[in-house]
Structure 1
Amino acid sequence: MNSARSWVVFAGAAFAYLVGVMQRTSFGVAGVDATDRFEVNAAAISVVAVVQIVVYAVLQIPVGVLADRFGAPPLIIVGAVTMAVGQGLLALSGGIGFALVARVLVGAGDALTFVSVIRLLPGWFEGRILPQLSQWVGMTGQLGQIVSAFPFALMLHLQGWTPAFLLAAAAGLLAAGLGLATLRRGADRVTTAEIRTIEPSELGLRASFGRPGTQLGFWAHLLAGTVPTMLGILWGYPFLTAGLGYDPGTASGVFVLMVVGTFVSGPIVGLLVARHPLRRSDLVLAITWGVYAIWAVVLLWQPQPPIWLVALLFLGVGVCGPASLVGLDVARSSNPRHAYGSATGIANTGGFVGGFIGMLLVGVVLDIVDEVRVAQGAASDLYSLDGFRIAFLSAYLIAIVGTVGLLWKRAHTRRRMYEESGIVIAPLWVALISARGKKRPPRVRE
């Protein structure tokens, strides 16, 4: 545990996830190009991206179960190969049907990767470093978004569609080769106490899903993960280039600030989670609604928000990435070791369920707004800034639902903690006042 070999395994797994994120987000960078290449509208492009995420979300739970049973390394390697095949098919696609099949393959391969990487870690590491490693995996993976925003985008604009996506396919094969060389299944040690407490009713997927902590992890991931999914996978880059009119270089620079936000905040969020495990849901709520407040200012600013404000938004969206990973830590810590994979898979569907609903709604609303504009005698402008202003309101509906779900399941989780361990968690404002009072120096009477 925590040996030099452990870090070699971590490096191979993190690189596979880096390439996976690059494959996942590459279609978003190419969204406007895809509209022209396949001669379709915004709703059709959003359907392609949504199908990819639906496949990803649907496979999360089966992948978690498979990772618990067969180990993570083979799933990571198969995932890298599957994404490479999908990107190769997309490179050669001339119609929207083939593009849809290609993104299904990318979604399936992507689904095999992240949960398997997270499931791999407890076999090689232990102690307080585990929740921080989850953040480090997320940070490393976000380098893939930099690859999408800069080298891939540059390749796309200079060399064209086919060379860019063939290069992405080659990266998937490289990740598979490194995985074969470095990844091994660790020792899933189970304590005697855990063996004694396992009952037949506590085994299986239904038991994992039935634990309030698993459900709390799902809602936390949905709340924090929806916006990074929507903007990172599909609508962020078109919003910058077509909606705000930024040139590709400027758009890539702003887009990559999501990665900067992840890198800056990831270690801080991991440290806060390790030190204050009973306040994880409060952390998710504070980060997410802080970002939604910034987004509201961006959408309301007339006639066009300044670039520094847009940059601040994308930086904040990057912070939502580590916040969404808190949900996975909640699910993991609420389950016995034998159910880590399935619990993580259940929680990890949250942000992608919110994301694909949001992506689809944005595409539909953009089409409706453009149709209304044309009906009123104006020229068609599918990706107008006003259209994005209206379409992005759908994310707030999802955030409200996610907040209600989080508060609901947090109450259940805290009730279970009290019944099983006698732990009482005071409201956040009470804890803050108590902490402030403890820091006051004692008064000395003259």
Structure 2
Amino acid sequence: MAKTMTGYQCSECGWRTTKWVGRCGECQQWGTVTELGAVRAPTTAASPVPPDRRAQPITTLQPERSGHRAIGIGEFDRVLGGGIVPGAAVLLSGEPGVGKSTLLLDVAARVAGQGATVLYISGEESSNQIRLRASRTQTLHESLLLASETDLGTVLGHIDQVSPSLLIVDSVQTIASAALDGQPGQPAQVREVAGALVRIAKERDMPTIIVGHVTKDGSVAGPRILEHLVDVVCHFEGDRDTSLRFIRALKNRFGPTDEVGCFEMTAEGISEVADPSGLFLSRGAAVSGTCVTLAAEGRRLLPVEIQALVTNSSAPNPRRVTNGVDSARVAMLIAVLERRVGIPLTDKDVYVSTVGGVRLTEPAADLAIAVAIASAARDVPIPHEMIAFGEISLAGEIRPVTAGKQRRAESGRLGYTRHVDDDTPLLRDAVREALSAGESSRERELSTAF
């Protein structure tokens, strides 16, 4: 016999609980949980299992691998694990204005160019607005179908009518189901819409890309279950002050999660950058205060130039200004340089920045930062063919970093013939080696000039 109990429901998102609480466990709103009255606890009777669906020993099952279908954008395909899988649900999140819609419009045009039908559903823009952007970015194709809808039932009707090979929904927070109360974007609505889109993607083997908004802290807006429902979660990020954009896979059931795709935003749209080294390196003559390192972005190694400027300070507290690197890490390296190497920086203003707006967080960049600061303090330029990577301890030792062998091989492929790394155990010796190479290079340039 079913048990009778008292139920409570949140008036904002529809979340239910068997006992009263002051704060909703789903949308975290206060004072929205009200009593529904006596309800019966649901009971589920056992159903007979069809013969073809009985549980089997895992050793008797034959593995089947769904083939990845290349989209045609190499950087995006790399992040997805080689392309998009039939029936896969991909969630793409990112800050407003970073270029999500522009990227997906390019994706839609590439897939449509392969002879497939693509349905692009937009709940944020009209079809005419998308048409104008497609003209500017040259992503027009007859097999690319547009619809501006915010009702889930109408979206499903479009899918039944078109039977697309790829579905793009921009965005899940703008679509609402008439079966539920509440405005679009509320947790219950997002959960219902995402569940329906994922379900139909699996039933029809139709790959689906869903755009998701983000909150102030950068996480996907809506219930956490949204990320559990989909197969792939990608985050599109970039600095508005620069044209550089990165796409990373935070979850991927069909491939690795350590790949990073690099793009550049231009007036004509967004374009992939297969070799991004030119974005992070300056091409001018060798000047003091610059040093190149290899930053690991997933399994990709990117050369990044670090610049430093050291000037005399008359203030009681010299300035320490950083851009693209951790300020606390730079302060530690300045202390190590002064104590272990003997470079006086107490009365100096120190400025450290990366080229291209990239942000370095791994400790492998410590040595390049220290060499750049030492180069600026001594006014000795580091040769263009020299590269540095290594972690620095408080004792002034250079520690090995991850993928050290791969970094050396990649730097050689990029044309860097001289390395400063953990082969030199002490920071003091490494700085002397780099400055000596700079002095020799400057002497050769002067002798050639005269």
TM-score normalised per structure 1 = 0.20
Say which structure is richer in helix: 1
TM, length-normalised to structure 2 = 0.20
Q: Comparing both structures, which one devotes a greater share of its residues to strand?
A: 2
Considering only CA atoms, is the larger Rg found in Structure 1 or Structure 2?
Answer: 2
